[in-house]
Amino acid sequence: MISSSIFLAIPGPASMILIVVAILLLFGGKKIPELMKGLGSGLKEFKDASKDDSKEIKEEKKN
């Protein structure tokens, strides 16, 4: 059985709308695409690095 307290951490639709509005007010409409582009490239680099690490670990296990 899943504890009911875990569902308290999941934001509802009203909370999500407030978060989006707050982000728009803080950064403005022009900065958000730049932030998303930076976030996307950071995630891509992280995935590439984790793939390289997993390849190195597999090679070490073979030896």
pLDDT tens for the chain, 63 residues long, are 455 666 667 778 888 899 888 988 888 888 888 888 999 999 999 998 888 777 777 777 776
Burial class of residue 32 (count of CB atoms within 10 Å of its CB; 0-12, 13-18, 19+): middle
Model pLDDT, residue 50? 84
pLDDT in the model for residue 6: 63
User: What's the whole-model pTM score?
Assistant: 0.50
The whole-angstrom separation of Cα 49 and Cα 53 is: 6
Which residue's structure tokens are 């982000």? 23
- Domain residue spans of the chain: 4-62
The residue type at 13: P
